[in-house]
Structure formats: C-alpha cells, structure tokens
Structure 1
Amino acid sequence: MKLFNQLKWFFTREWKRYLGAILLLITIAILQLLPPKIVGILIDLIIKEKMHGIQILPWISIILLVAIIVYILRYLWRVLLFGASYQLATELRVKFYSYLSQQSEKFFLENRTGDLIARATNDVDRVVFAAGEGVLTLVDSLVMGCSVLIVMSTQISFLLTIISLIPMPIMAILIKKYGQELHDTFRHAQSAFAALNNHTQEILTSIRMIRAFGLEKNQSDKFDIIVNDTGKKNMEVAKIDARFDPVIYLSVAFSNLLAVIGGGWLVWNSEITIGQLTSFIMYLGLMIWPMLALAWMFNIVERGSAAWDRIYSIINKELYIKDGNKTLPSSSGILQININTFIYPKNNIPSLKNIEIILEPGKSLGICGPTGSGKSTLLKILQRQFNITKGNIIYHSLPLSELKIDNWRRRISVVNQTSFLFSESIANNIALGKPNALQQEIEEMAKLADIHKDIIDLPKGYETQVGERGVMLSGGQKQRIAIARALLLNTEILILDDALSAVDSQTENKILKNISKWQKNGHSLIITAHRLSALINTDEIIVIKNGLIIQRGTHPQLIQEENWYKSMYYYQKLEVELENK
C-alpha cells in the first residue's frame, strides 16, 4: 500500500477522474446486490405457490436491465480510471527522459543503458498497472465486499455471516505474508531483466565485431546463462504468485461449506427460508471477486511498489551538474580556461593540472598530446559534462557554473571522433539541431564539410537512409556529416574532438580551409588531433602530457623546440612520405 502514498501527488491532481470512477463502482456494487435478492424472493414465492408462469417475466426483465446498466457503467469507469493511469505512464516516461537528458557523463558511467531502458519501459508499466488495476481492485473489492457483508448480516442472518467468514482472517494473514515475499522477489526479477536488457543491447551494438572475431558461440553461451538466470528469478516470482489463488479458492470453498451447513441448520430450525439461504449463497458467490481482487491487488501493488523503487532510485538522485541561473549576451565573448585541478569521480589521481588558456572570438586553438594525456577530458569539462575540482572556466566574464546549462551548450557545437548518426535520412541528420533548415542551408554546410559530392552520388541523395548508427556510410563519411551538422548550428565555438581521424590528408586540408573561411564571421575553433597536420594553421597549439601543458605556441614556434611536438610532427611527416612512395 506504500505505492498509493508515493503516488498521492497524482491521485490528488486527478481526483475528479478517480472520484468519478469510484462513484460508478459504488453504483455498480449496489446494482449487483439486486439479482440475488430478487432470486431469493422468487424462490420463496414459487415454493409457496404464490407466483408461477408469466408472472416471473417482469422480475427476469429487471435482472436483465440491471445487467445492461452494469455493463454500461463498467465501460464508463474504465474510460475514467485507465485514462488517468495512461496519463501517468506518459508523465513518468517524460519525467524519466527529462531527468536522463540532464545527466552528465558521470551518471552514464555508473548506469548501464539496458537497465535504464528496463526502468523506462517495464517498470513504468508495472507502476501504471498498479495505479489503474490496483485502484480498481482495491475500491471494487472494498465496496462490493462491504456491501455484500452488510446485506448478508442485516437482511438474512448475522450468525450465518459470522460462521461463513471464519476462514477469512487466515486468508488475510497468508496474503500479507506472500505479498511481502512477492515484493522482494519481483525486485530481484526486475534486476535480472535489466541485466538481460544490458547484455542484449551490447550484443546488438557490437554484432559486427562479434562476427569478425568468430565469437557467436561464446556470446550465445553467455546469453544463455543470463536468460536462464532471468527465467529462474521469474519462476520464483511465479511460484509465490501461484500461492495466492489456492489460498483464495480454499477460503471460498470453506466459506461455502460452512454456509451450507450453517444455513441448512437455520432452515431446519425455521430461522431463515430456503429463498433466503439461496440469496445468501449467491451473495457469498459475489464475495469471491472481492477476495480474489484483494489478493490480486496485493500482487500487482507489490510489483508496482518494487518497480517504483527502481524508478525513484534514479529520478531522485541529485544532479551531478548543477544548473545556473544566468544567461549569456548574444554576442561572441572571450573564453578563459583556468583549471587548477580536475579529478574524475571515484579517482584520486588528477587528470588535469594547471591548465590556463584564453581563446578570443574568431581564433582557433589546437590541442595535441600523447594518448591519455587529458585532451578529451578538457573538452568534456568545457561541455560541462564534469565539474572542475579546483578552478573555473569563464565566458563573457561569467563562470560556466553560474550559467544555465542549455544557454551555454547552445553556444557550442561538438563533433566527436566517433560520430553518431540516427536512422534517418542524411538531410535529417545534418539538420538535427536545426529541424527547420532549408535544403540550401543543408547543402552549403555539406559542401563546407566536403561531403556534398559523396551525398549526391548516393541513390537518393540527401534523402538516403543511413541505417542504424549510420551503418550504410564509411567512417569518414559519418564524420563529415557530423561536421556539417555542427556547422549548421552556427554556434560561437566549434569543437572538433579528433573529428578528422577517418578522412585522408587531402580531405582534411579542404575541410579545415573551409572552416577557416567560416570562422571569419567571429566563430572560434577548438580542435584536438593525433594527426598534427590538422593543427598547423591554428592560432595557438597546446601540447598536453599527463594532464599538464608542456608546450604552447604556433606551429612554426613549436617545431623549433626540442620536445614532443617536433619529434611527433617529423615522425608523422616521414610516415606519410613513406606511404606515398
């Protein structure tokens, strides 16, 4: 029942729908009390030979009319009740997605995709089911059960009612016990389902690599183990679930047995009539649903409660990146980076130390260094994916920590080394950040990214579907489409995180020249690269090693120094010359 308290904000807001549904359920319960009463009266009148033949038809007509009215009212309360629960599903999923969209990279390092999908789908379904069917069964069982009990005890026999309900306390104790077991077991089953989701998602994402390494059998065996574990946990849930119905049916059977024995004794002693006993047994039959509904309610509410715990454990987490309240001026500004120390969460070793950079509007900054030196880390901090441990980044004289995250991120566009494309047309992928872009704008940006010719050579040109994650395109084509997508946003700062690694030197040179022309409108460029030829024309180059800036200057300045940059530049130059021979 804890779940109903957790969802009281929704019940309070949608009180009109729920109140309407409850009133209809009460009306239905009252109407359902009429047929047994009419049947009991008819039996007594027939036994006393006071009614026969065609005289019975009006009474049967009343029973049929009651059935039709009940049918219509049941339709109406379903519309009210389940309409509200479906609204809850929409809101929970939107809220869950909204929360995920605000999360930093730290959150996604700690939570796996398959588990998050399971919470957004399966767990939400369980909560919604409890908010719909759970409320229905709770209200219906209480209203119907109480109504029948009142009629049986006041209109027929209080003693017989007490005798018939002797098995009920035992049933209630067992249902409560099984309900708690079900809550814990179902939570473990949902965790197993999330693990299965995770593994399935990883297999589908890396299917080409699995085939390339011939790991189909190995992955199949792992998948089989996870599936069996999930099946076992679900079987444990089913075993507990299976205990509910026998307890209910045995309780109902003993109730009927006691009613027949006790009722027969009362009829023998002329305390009730045969017609009243018949009505009593029919009323007892109406008690079967409330008892079944009560057990079912405990079942689905406990499942919903376990699911809500899993959802709430995510959406209740405090955001790692705090949103600011300040907005930036519309013009371009100076970017000042001053990072004294940055340490990744759950790590003790600094990844960046003493990083000081100033980037003016229209200027370009090149970043290079050995693998693992901290280049991508610096760009993640710029995007506000992580908080700086000590130091600050300032734009327009405002610290990034004080800015609204959306306001800052609209000023930057990022192209990563691994470019993600959606299962859409090429035109839609380029226009992702600007859905209302004209075809002419899309083509202009594609030309700047040197991908226009490749696109028009495709069967459907810009309307070509790229497939899941851009499977129809090469790595270089995907990178260039991602660059066109970033350029279309026309942001003040363009960040290329080794985004030219999959293109050849000639194409790289063309793209960088085009971006240089694009920069003349006041755009700034930050580019990281392993291939140093991409940094030659930048206004400043910094070399990072072990999280520290070990060199800085222009290309001509750096090749005069005996250090990492010079040796790596000439090594790469020699490598290219040997490849061209």
Structure 2
Amino acid sequence: MKIFLDLWWFFRLEKKRYIIGIVMLITVTLLELFVPYVIRIIVDHGTAKTLTAGILLKWTLLVFISGILVYGCRYVWRVQLFGAAHRLGQLLRDRFYQHLTKQSPTFYQRHRIGKLMAHGTNDIQAVTYTAGDGVMVIVDGLIGGIMIISTMVFFIDWKLTLLAMLPMPIMAWTASYYGKLLHHRFKKAQEAFEDMTEDVQQNISSVRMIKAFGKQDSELSQFKKRMNQIVSTNLSAARIDALYDPTIFIITGVSFLISIGFGSWFVLQGKITIGQLTQFTFYIGDLIWPMLALGWLFNIIERGRASYGRLQKLLQDEEPIIQVSQPIKQLPSGEVKIYIPRFTYPNSNLVALQKLDLNIFPRQTIGLVGRTGSGKTTLLRLLLREFELTEGQIRLSEIDHRHIALKTLRVAFGYVPQEHMLFSTTIAENIAFGYPAATPEEIEQAARDAQVHDDILQFAQGYQTVVGERGVTLSGGQKQRISIARAILLKPEILILDDALSAVDAKTEQQIIQMIRQKRQDQTTIIVAHRLSAVEHADQIWVFEQGEVIDSGTHRELAKKSGWYQQTLLRQQTLTEGLEGRR
C-alpha cells in the first residue's frame, strides 16, 4: 500500500473529486446490499404464505428506484475518480517533460532516449491506473467486502458468518505471496519494454544508415529477440496473475459449501429463516468481487509501485546547472572575459580545456580553429552553460555568467551546432522555431541570407514542405543552411557557427561569410571551422591544441607564423589548386 502513501500529495490536491467518488462508491455498495434484503423479505413472505400483490409491487418499486440511484452514482464516481486519475497523468507528464528540458547533456549520457520514452508512457500510465482503478478497487472491493461481511454478522447470523469466513486467511496469505512474486516479475517486464523502446527509437532514427549497410535483417532479428523477451517476461508475470482467479473461486466455493451446509442446519434449528439463508448466499456470491478485487489490487499496486519508484528516481536526478535565487534577467552588453585554468567533463579525468585567458570584445568576429577534439566546441558549450565550470569563470560585462538567468543567457546566443536538428514539420516552421511570430517575409529573408532560399523554391510545396524527422528529406548542406537561417532570424547578440559551413561548397560559404560581415557589423560572431577560408575575415583567430590556445592573431599574422595554422593553410590551398587544375 506504500504507493498510496507516495501519492498522498495528489489525493490531497484532488480531495474533492476523491471524496465525491468514494461517497458515491459506498452509496452504490449500500444500495446493492438492499436487493438481497428484498429477496429475503419476498422469500419469507412466500414461505409464510403472506405474500400479496401490494407487498410485491412495493418492494419491486423500491428495487427499481434503487437501480436508478445505482446508475446515477456509478456515473458520478467514474467521472470523479477516473477524471482525477487522468489529472495525475497530466501532472506527471508535465513534470516529466519539464524535468527533461532542464537537464544538461550529462543527463542524456546516463539515460538512453528509449528508456526515457518508456518512463513517459508505460510508467506514467501504470501510476495513473493506480490512482484511478486502484482507489476504485480498494473502496468498491475491500471496503465493499467489509460492508457485506458486517451485514452478514449483524443482520443475519455471526456464527454462520464466522464459519463461512474460515477459508479467508488462506486467501490473504496466498494474495501476499502472489504479490511478492508479481512485483519482481513486473519489474523485469518493464525493463524489457524499455530495452525494446530504445532499440525501436534508434532504428527508426537511423533507418537510412541501416539500409545503407544492408543491416535490415540483422536489426529485425534483434527486434524479434527483444519482443520474445517482452513476451517471456510478461507471460512469467501473467502465470502468477492467472493463479488469482482460480484460487479465489476455490476458496469462495468452499465458503458456499460451508454456508449451505451449516445454514440449512441453522434453518432446521430455527435460528435463521429460509429468506435469511437466501440473503446470506447472495452475499457470499457478492463476496466474489471483493476477492477478485484483492488479486487485481495486488496487480495494480505492484505495477504502480514499480513504475512510480522508477519515475521518482529519474525525477530526483537533479540538474547540475544551478540557477542563483535572484538571477539577472537582462543580458548585459559588453566584453566577454573567459578565464578557465582547467576543465574536465563530469565523470572524466581527461582535461578538455586548460590555461584559457581570453577576451571577446563587442562587434568582433572570432574564429576558432584546431584539430578535432582540441576543445573548440567545449568552450562554446561552457559559454552556453551546458556544463558548469569547476575552476575559473566566464564574465559578461564584468558579471559572472552564472548570475545571469539561464533563459536570458541562452536567448542571447544564436547557436548553430555541429549536429543540425530539424523537426518533422515545414521548412518555414523550422526556420521560425526560435521566433514563432516571424512573418513570411522575415523567414524568407533569413533563408536568403543563409543562401538556402533558391533550394527551398525547388520543392513543390516551397516553404511549406515537410522535411521529415530530423530533416531526413534534405541534404546535409540544406540542413546546415536552414539551421543557419533559424539562428540568423533571431538577430542574436552573439551568433555561434560551430563548424556550420562544413557541408556547403566554397562559393556558398563565401556568400554566407559576406552576409555576416555586412549585416552583423554591430554584433559579435564566433565561427568554428576546419576550412580556414571560413575565418579569414575574423578579427581574431584562436588556434586550439589539446584544450588550450597555442596561438592567436589575424589571418595575415598567423599565415606568416610557422605553426599549425600556416601548415594547414598551405595544405588546404594546395588541395584547392589541385582540384581546380583537374577541372
């Protein structure tokens, strides 16, 4: 029953709904106790030969009224209890989604997407079921059973009731034993579902790669193994669950035999009437549902407890990026100072950045170059506070960026990451993602600036073309340029292009660079590139090597220095000249 204590916060929140629903359930149980009593009256009148048309009509009318009341009460309790349960599902999904949106990249390294999807669907559904059907089973089953037994004790015969209840301790022990087995097996079944969801998510998002390598049969075989595992674990739980009903019917059958045998003897002794015995046997029949409810309750509780425990564990995985209690909500404009003596990623001993003492002045264009893995993207992610500094600080206009509201800080940056994420919607909506109120003219201008307007017009639906999940229908260069258009539309204080020109040709690259130079003269731009032609115009170029800046200067200054930049420049120029010579 611990799951109900865990959900007490919600029961208090929706106490009005639950009180009304429970009152209606108890009213239904009381009204259903009335019908066997009427049968008792009719049987006793018939036995005494005192049954008249008036008596029969009176009790028939009362049963009819009782039926109408039961109909109305059943409708009300269903609306109240199940409505409250759906409210819990909504709250948990909101809390779950908000929690996911606040997490840093390290969270998604610890938790796979497929498992998160399973938490957001299967687990929340199980908890919702507990708050709805679980409460109904407790009230209608257990409390209803207590009311039936109480009626049998106080209004028929306590001795006969005691005899009929003799098999019930066996039922209680059996239910407890089955419950322990179910909890373990349901946990395994849910873990198997998680693994299957993870595989499906990966396969659907990587379907082009799977086809390109001819791995369809292999992945299908793996999927079948996962499905067999799910079937196996669920069958294991179902075998235990299937024992409840036969056990309940056997025990109830024994109670019937005891009731009929001893009840008949009590009638012969004159202790009870035939009508009372008839009423008693009806109540024994009514006890079948509470017994079945006991088995169902353990099923619901164990599923809900396992699911709620997993959800709570996930929701307690706190965001390491902590916002101060009274953050600055207006971005200060001015110089960006970067001082990072040393930075390592969480749970890693490898130094990602070191010995950084850099300045970015307003309206500057900064180029970041260096070998893959040298720390360029890491610096950008620290600027955006995707990770927290353990040593040093980043200051915006002399204000520690940890004192600036996260939303304010991130809105100030127009970020085009290496991995271009497009949504399964239209091109126009993808471009306007950060600025939904943008007019069609503003969207088109951003696309023109990113040199993707002509490509868009080639599609039959133009800007209304649906690009598919992750932009599956677009080329790499088109996805890059749409991502650039999305960032440009925001007119951010600081535009970051993280190797965002790698998939476009040299001519398009120069057109985009020229646009940046013309339209962003009064704003700051940071460009990460492997093609040095993308940063030739930069006011400052920082050369990264093993997490530190080993050289800096303008393009002309670095081209004259002996070092990595000069060597890479000469190599790229030679390659370009060779390609042009072949033409």
TM-score by length of 1: 0.98
Residue 307 of structure 1: CA displacement? 0.3
Give me the identity figure in percent: 41
- The answer to whether residue 525 in structure 2 is matched with residue 511 in structure 1 is no
Q: Deviations over 1:143-175 (max 9, x none)?
A: 311221111111110000000011111111111
What CA distance in whole angstroms lies between the structure 2 residues aligned with 1:106 and 1:412?
A: 21
Residue 344 of structure 1: CA displacement? 1.3
- The answer to whether residue 387 in structure 2 is matched with residue 386 in structure 1 is yes
Amino acid of the residue matched to residue 313 of structure 2? S
What CA distance in whole angstroms lies between the structure 1 residues aligned with 2:317 and 2:210?
A: 35
What CA distance in whole angstroms lies between the structure 1 residues aligned with 2:178 and 2:335?
A: 65
The answer to whether the 8 A contact 1:416-1:498 is kept is: yes
- Segments of structure 1 that go 5 or more residues without pairing to the other structure are none
The answer to whether the 8 A contact 2:449-2:485 is kept is: yes
- The answer to whether residue 29 in structure 2 is matched with residue 19 in structure 1 is no
Moved more, 200-209 or 452-461: 452-461
Show the 5 A alignment for 1:42-121.
42-52=42-52, 55-121=55-121
What CA distance in whole angstroms lies between the structure 2 residues aligned with 1:302 and 1:330?
A: 50
Residue in 1 that maps onto 2:217: 217
The answer to whether the 8 A contact 2:321-2:386 is kept is: yes
Show the 5 A alignment for 1:330-369.
330=331, 332-369=333-370
The answer to whether the 8 A contact 2:331-2:404 is kept is: no
- The answer to whether residue 561 in structure 2 is matched with residue 565 in structure 1 is no
Q: Deviations over 1:256-300 (max 9, x none)?
A: 111111111111212111111000001111111122112211210
Residue in 2 that maps onto 1:482: 483
Following superposition, which runs of at least 4 residues in structure 1 exceed 6 angstroms of deviation?
none
Residue in 1 that maps onto 2:408: 407
Residue 189 of structure 1: CA displacement? 1.2
Residue 330 of structure 1: CA displacement? 4.8
The answer to whether the 8 A contact 1:351-1:547 is kept is: yes
Question: What SS does the corresponding residue of 2:349 show, helix, strand or coil?
Answer: coil
What CA distance in whole angstroms lies between the structure 2 residues aligned with 1:77 and 1:192?
A: 35
Amino acid of the residue matched to residue 69 of structure 2? I
Residue in 1 that maps onto 2:464: 463
Question: What SS does the corresponding residue of 1:33 show, helix, strand or coil?
Answer: helix
What CA distance in whole angstroms lies between the structure 1 residues aligned with 2:556 and 2:351?
A: 31
Residue 334 of structure 1: CA displacement? 1.4
What CA distance in whole angstroms lies between the structure 2 residues aligned with 1:402 and 1:237?
A: 52
Show the 5 A alignment for 1:117-516.
117-324=117-324, 325-330=326-331, 332-516=333-517
Question: What SS does the corresponding residue of 2:414 show, helix, strand or coil?
Answer: strand
Question: What SS does the corresponding residue of 2:148 show, helix, strand or coil?
Answer: helix
Moved more, 375-384 or 69-78: 375-384
What CA distance in whole angstroms lies between the structure 1 residues aligned with 2:141 and 2:4?
A: 16
CA shift in 2, pair 1:224/1:161, >3 Å:
same
Moved more, 428-437 or 184-193: 184-193
What CA distance in whole angstroms lies between the structure 1 residues aligned with 2:484 and 2:23?
A: 60
Q: Deviations over 1:221-250 (max 9, x none)?
A: 222222222221111111221122222222
TM-score by length of 2: 0.97
Q: Deviations over 1:406-462 (max 9, x none)?
A: 121111121012211111111111110111111111111111111112222321221
What CA distance in whole angstroms lies between the structure 1 residues aligned with 2:452 and 2:573?
A: 26
Amino acid of the residue matched to residue 384 of structure 1? R
The answer to whether the 8 A contact 1:40-1:279 is kept is: yes
Residue in 1 that maps onto 2:38: 38
Q: Deviations over 1:83-104 (max 9, x none)?
A: 1111111110010000000000
Count how many residue pairs are aligned between Structure 1 and Structure 2: 580
The answer to whether the 8 A contact 2:330-2:408 is kept is: no
Amino acid of the residue matched to residue 280 of structure 1? F
Amino acid of the residue matched to residue 493 of structure 2? E
Residue 486 of structure 1: CA displacement? 0.6
The answer to whether the 8 A contact 2:337-2:395 is kept is: yes
The answer to whether the 8 A contact 1:417-1:500 is kept is: no
Residue 180 of structure 1: CA displacement? 2.1
Residue 53 of structure 1: CA displacement? 5.5
Residue 331 of structure 1: CA displacement? 5.2
Amino acid of the residue matched to residue 364 of structure 1? T
What CA distance in whole angstroms lies between the structure 2 residues aligned with 1:7 and 1:306?
A: 13
What CA distance in whole angstroms lies between the structure 2 residues aligned with 1:23 and 1:329?
A: 53
Amino acid of the residue matched to residue 415 of structure 2? V
What CA distance in whole angstroms lies between the structure 2 residues aligned with 1:113 and 1:568?
A: 39
Question: What SS does the corresponding residue of 2:437 show, helix, strand or coil?
Answer: coil
The answer to whether the 8 A contact 1:106-1:385 is kept is: no
What CA distance in whole angstroms lies between the structure 1 residues aligned with 2:549 and 2:524?
A: 21
Question: What SS does the corresponding residue of 1:526 show, helix, strand or coil?
Answer: strand
The answer to whether the 8 A contact 2:104-2:321 is kept is: yes
Amino acid of the residue matched to residue 183 of structure 2? H
What CA distance in whole angstroms lies between the structure 2 residues aligned with 1:342 and 1:273?
A: 87
Residue 60 of structure 1: CA displacement? 2.2
Question: What SS does the corresponding residue of 1:559 show, helix, strand or coil?
Answer: helix
What CA distance in whole angstroms lies between the structure 2 residues aligned with 1:508 and 1:363?
A: 19
Residue 54 of structure 1: CA displacement? 6.8
What CA distance in whole angstroms lies between the structure 1 residues aligned with 2:470 and 2:490?
A: 21
Amino acid of the residue matched to residue 255 of structure 2? S
Moved more, 378-387 or 155-164: 378-387
What CA distance in whole angstroms lies between the structure 1 residues aligned with 2:64 and 2:288?
A: 22
CA shift in 2, pair 1:549/1:331, >3 Å:
closer
What CA distance in whole angstroms lies between the structure 2 residues aligned with 1:45 and 1:541?
A: 104
Q: Deviations over 1:73-118 (max 9, x none)?
A: 1011111111111111111001000000000000001100000000
What CA distance in whole angstroms lies between the structure 1 residues aligned with 2:258 and 2:509?
A: 89
The answer to whether the 8 A contact 2:141-2:290 is kept is: yes
Residue 309 of structure 1: CA displacement? 0.8
Q: Deviations over 1:109-135 (max 9, x none)?
A: 110000000000110000000000001
Residue 328 of structure 1: CA displacement? 4.9
Residue 55 of structure 1: CA displacement? 4.7
What CA distance in whole angstroms lies between the structure 2 residues aligned with 1:147 and 1:359?
A: 77
